[in-house]
Amino acid sequence: MTTPTIELNGLEVQLGGRTILHGITGVLKSRAIGLLGPNGAGKSTLINTLLGFHVPNKGSARVLGLDSHTSGKALRSLVGYMPENDAFISKMSGVRFVRYMAEISGLPSEQAMERAHEAFVYVGLGEARYRPVGTYSLGMKQLAKLAQAIAHGPKVLILDEPTNGMDPPARKRLIELIREIREASDICLLLSSHLLRDVEETCDEVLILRNGQIASICNLVEERQANRKFLELETIGAEASFTSALESIGCECAVFTSGRIKVVMPDRVEIREVFKVAADRGVQIRRMNHRRDSLEDIFLNAMEQTGAPDGRL
Amino acid sequence: MAVYKRRYNSYTGSLTPTWSRFFVLTRFAFADLFKSRFFVLLLILCIIPCLFSAGFIFVANNKTLQLLMQLRPDMDFFQIESQYFIIMLTVQTQAAFLLNCWVGPVLISGDLTNGALPLFLSRPFSRADYVLGKLAVLGLLLSAVTWIPCLLLFSLQAGLARDGWIWSHLWMVVPIMLCSAIWILMLSLISLAVSAWVKLRIVATGIIFVTFFIPAGLGEMFNAIMGTYWGGLLNFSSLFRQILIRSFRAESIMGAFTRGNDIPIVMAWTMLVLVCIFALFVLNVRLRAREVVRG
């Protein structure tokens, strides 16, 4: 049996007299885990607790079998952390900054220097590596933070809002890098982001938090393999008879306003059968969108189930 | 992650021992310090009194030279005794104070300004390691201008003097090291604590000066008003001088330096240790990976 990547056992964390995480319990086994939730859900607190920055009041959190509190140092020796906020030494050149961090992680001086150069070239900042980090743009600072997180070759990479402040091409490049890192080694990834697309593109499993509680744990790989096909239709005509005819051939239908219908199709039903039913009932299909369940649906579902007012981030 | 391959590889090489990693901070801080010409100049200036002092020891032990310089060899002035080392240490600890005021304020503030502390603490590196690394910078630097030159001068004198001078004066090694240690520790911790709170060097330097001079003034006022000597507990330099003179058993010779300050030696030590503990407390409050806002 493999060790779970993250194991939470009744984890409760109080900060400043307020309970932020309310005894959360869950096991996440995938190599790439996404952390989602509205503002104030407890994502950053969970990351900080995993890093040993906060001491749990009750319960425990384990990463690769190591307790975040009792085995903090051993755990942190496996971790590369890219924080959400600014985190750099402004007067140091980029490469020296990364080398410094790598040496603190335990790399001998020469190897640290070599890896710092490699990390900088790898994240695409090779040309800017001798400039002071303070002069970098926001996107470059994000990349420098990624470079310092990977330079010492960690086993677990924790990325807190990695694409914050990046323009679309830079974001795309960063997401590609993260995927590349994930695929090129046996590194485990924990990515916290407000952007569902970032998580969807890089993670296999998602932990959705809301008000310090787990709203959902969802294995995206299984979901992608098992989820059903959806048709989003905009129709004009006899809605009721159309939906009942679709249900008679095995579809599930949800009717919305203005002739919008969401149809869940079983695997045996083909789309042309939907057209046939529509033709038979004299219903015009004005728009059809064929898609599978997305992370957005999973997220919104999780928010609705736990009573979120509008499910928005 | 070889550059030519442009792909990620994990690191599988050897690692440095955990206990030695605090020294990375010290090494990087020294590299930064020695880039500054002003710092190098200040360091040289701090060592110059020791060079003059070495010359003095040479002259004091060379009768021919004294005669050539038309000096009377039997003058008390040329005796290298505890008084000499007290003066040397007093001068050098003041030089250490100036050096500390220049170096100390930037040691931690540079890391805190742009939130780099979580990067240190997300590694197998504790807050104690961090403080130790920064403390070592000041510890080594201030040692280089206090007890190390004093011990070198002691060795020089021991080498030049005759009649078993070294054996009758060997006990002086202990006060030289002990007094330097408490002064270095107190200065370093105060400036690290200030550096952890104040980002601007000039303001931090000002606060370090204020820490030493304002309480001393308040203490004197307290003494004058209340007709007591306990206000002297706020005068850290005076407490140190008192410890220095009593450690060298030179109360009879140099009592004038501590006149009016009858604070028991134990209280003087306790006060300096309390200052160190308070500075550590301040560091403990400030050096956190994440700040928690109460309420």
Phi, psi of B164 (to 5 degrees): 60, 35
Q: A6 to chain B, minimum CA–CA distance in Å?
A: 17
Query: Does the ipTM exceed 0.90?
Result: no
**B64 interfacial to chain A (CB closer than 8 Å):** no
**pLDDT of A130:** 95
CATH topology of domain A6-224: Rossmann fold (3.40.50)
**B20 interfacial to chain A (CB closer than 8 Å):** no
pLDDT in tens, B200-256: 989 999 999 999 999 999 999 999 999 888 898 999 999 999 999 999 988 777 666
**pLDDT of A293:** 62
* Binary contact (B16, A106; C-beta < 8 A): yes
**pLDDT of A225:** 65
**B125 interfacial to chain A (CB closer than 8 Å):** yes
**pLDDT of A308:** 44
Contacts of A279 (CB under 8 A, 6+ apart): none
Domain ranges (residues) in chain B: 27-286
Per the prediction, chain A carries an average pLDDT of: 88
Pairwise CA distance, residues B134 & B129, whole Å: 9
Strand partners, A190: A33, A158
Low-confidence ranges of chain A (pLDDT < 70): 1, 224-228, 291-294, 304-313
pLDDT of residue B258 exceeding 80, the answer is no
Pairwise CA distance, residues A167 & A175, whole Å: 12
In chain B, residues with a C-beta closer than 8 Å to the C-beta of A54 are 290, 292
Sequence-ordered alpha helix ranges (H) in chain A: 43-50, 72-76, 94-104, 109-122, 138-150, 168-184, 196-202, 220-226, 239-248, 271-281, 295-305
**pLDDT of B260:** 55
| Selection from A296, A297, A249 nearest residue A271 by Cα | A249
The pTM score is: 0.85
Nearest to A54 among B3, B13, B290 (CB): B290
Strand partners, A7: A27, A62
Q: B294 to chain A, minimum CA–CA distance in Å?
A: 4
pLDDT of residue B171 exceeding 90, the answer is yes
Beta strands per DSSP E along chain B: none
Nearest to B119 among A15, A101, A115 (CB): A101
**pLDDT of A267:** 75
Residue A132 DSSP code: B
pLDDT in tens, B46-94: 999 999 999 999 998 888 888 888 777 666 667 888 899 999 999 999 9
* Binary contact (B123, A180; C-beta < 8 A): no
Q: Which of the residues B5, B9, B11, B109 would you substitute to probe the A interface, choosing the one with the greatest number of A C-beta atoms within 10 Å?
A: B11
**pLDDT of A240:** 85
Residue of A nearest to B294 (CA): A16
Q: At B27, is the pLDDT very low, low, confident or very high (cuts 50, 70, 90)?
A: very high
- Report the alpha-carbon angle B17-B19-B25, nearest 5: 100
Phi, psi of B145 (to 5 degrees): -115, 0
Spell out a b/e string for A245-272, using b for 16 or more CB atoms within 10 Å of the CB, else e: bbeeeebebeeeeebebebbbeeebeee
Nearest to A122 among B1, B24, B126 (CB): B1
pLDDT in tens, B115-164: 899 999 999 999 999 999 999 999 999 999 999 999 999 999 999 987 78
Cβ neighbours of B107 (radius 10 Å): 24
Q: Residue B282, SS3? A: helix
Contacts of A219 (CB under 8 A, 6+ apart): A30, A204, A205
For A224-278, give the DSSP string.
HHHPPEEEEEEEES-HHHHHHHHHHTT-EEEE-STTEEEEEEPTT--HHHHHHHH
Nearest to B8 among A100, A148, A150 (CB): A150
Which class would CATH give A228-292? alpha beta
**Stretch (H or E) spanning A289:** strand A284-292
A2 or B188: which leads in pLDDT? B188
The whole-number average pLDDT for the span B104-116 is 91
| Selection from B284, B291, B47, B88 nearest residue B189 by Cα | B284
Domain ranges (residues) in chain A: 6-224, 228-292
pLDDT of residue B259 exceeding 60, the answer is no
